[in-house]
Amino acid sequence: MELSPSFFQNRTLQQLVENQTSYTLSHAAMHVFETHEQAEKVLLQFDQPVLASMLEGKKVMHLRDHNSFNFLPGESLILPSDELMCIDFPEAQQNDPTRCLAMAISEEKIADVITLMNERLVRSEDSEEWNMIDYNFHFTNDVGIYQILRRLLFLFTENHPNKDLFVDNMLQELIVRILQTNTRKIYSDSALQLQNTHRLAFVIQYIRDNLHQNITIEALSKKACMSESHFHRVFKNELGLSPIDFINEERIKLATSLLKDPSKKIKEVYVACGFESRSYFNRVFKRKKHVSPGTYQSKANHTPSL
């Protein structure tokens, strides 16, 4: 994700490690951090909940009570207020900086959106109400979240008298999509434990176990004991995407894992993931990963020369 020209016109580079450019509005503040040299154990903390999203480069994140992990472009992280981050920058260079977006959102705004969701997005009868985001949630941006972040980067840096209103509307959609992404992860991680008591968790486990086969909405709705139309509506309300989109998302996750094996042929991969043709596999993969399967496999297996 590239920063807009207006960002570079208005920012000043005052330090080489975590140089901060900030824009503050009523319910949120956007901070862009740039690091131009390698560094270790850099501490950072916010007094509001934060969505951190990597734009360029690589960070290694150390959080309280969590294992260290690589933080890469296309990924985001939800952090609670006052969470102390310890960050390493193993690859940052003057001409190849690490850049990260940090969107601090007021708890009042998050609570208002959750109230709205509970009024309008009715969950299935065996689900609890929507509630606060699961903090320290690390995920890969889907297309919807990616596009919202791009729009927010533009809106915050735009000199427009109504940008506070524009940003407020985009924040609402962002929070809804993050909560649905978080719910999707909870169902996926807990599917085995919940499959006897929660129909969607049972269906998700079935999908993950049968990605190589033809999976129909008719079969899934029967397993959930719902009509096809009711199943489609409940699934999309709960997880934020249609059953077909979820199946494709899971298939692409499997494909990225298989492509890390340099001996795997592309045909072997798409057949193992349940795609009927290479052209459809290429199209879905590129839409979600922004590169072709062949390019992804080459990059995944490329070892830089010393």
pLDDT at 1: 75
For the CA atoms of 135, 156, 142, 180, the dihedral, rounded to the nearest 10 degrees, stands at: 50
pLDDT at 151: 93
Adjacent-strand bridge partners of 254: none
Q: How many residues does the chain have?
A: 306
Question: Of 28, 49, 55, 45, which is closest to residue 156 (Cα–Cα)?
Answer: 28
Kindly give the pairing relationship between strand 28-35 and strand 98-105: antiparallel
pLDDT at 196: 46
- Per mean pLDDT, which range of 170-179, 180-189, 220-229 is the poorest? 180-189
Q: For the chain, which residues make up each domain, given as ranges? A: 1-183, 195-306
For the CA atoms of 235, 109, 83, 55, the dihedral, rounded to the nearest 10 degrees, stands at: 70
In whole angstroms, what is the distance from residue 14 CA to residue 228 CA? 58
Adjacent-strand bridge partners of 301: none
Q: What is the pLDDT of residues 89-147, one digit of tens each?
A: 999 999 999 999 999 999 999 999 988 888 887 666 556 677 776 678 888 888 889 99
Residue 187: CA atoms inside 13 Å, Cβ hemisphere, count? 26
Alpha-carbon separation of residue 299 from 12, 291, 292 (angstroms): 33, 10, 11
Kindly give the pairing relationship between strand 39-44 and strand 19-24: unpaired
CATH topology assigned to domain 195-306: Arc Repressor Mutant, subunit A (1.10.10)
Query: Among all chains, which residue has been given the structure tokens 């998302």?
Result: 249
Token pair recorded at residue 194? 């919940």
Is the CATH number 3.40.190.10 carried by domain 1-183?
no
Give 121: exposed, middle or buried? Use CB within 10 Å, 0-12, 13-18, 19+.
Answer: middle
In whole angstroms, what is the distance from residue 46 CA to residue 67 CA? 20
pLDDT at 125: 57
Token pair recorded at residue 14? 């005052």
Adjacent-strand bridge partners of 24: 29
Q: What is the pLDDT of residues 267-285, one digit of tens each?
A: 999 999 999 999 999 999 9
In whole angstroms, what is the distance from residue 66 CA to residue 52 CA? 16
Give yes or no for residue 15 having a pLDDT over 60: yes
Query: Among all chains, which residue has been given the structure tokens 């999908």?
Result: 207
Give yes or no for residue 181 having a pLDDT over 80: yes
pLDDT at 278: 93
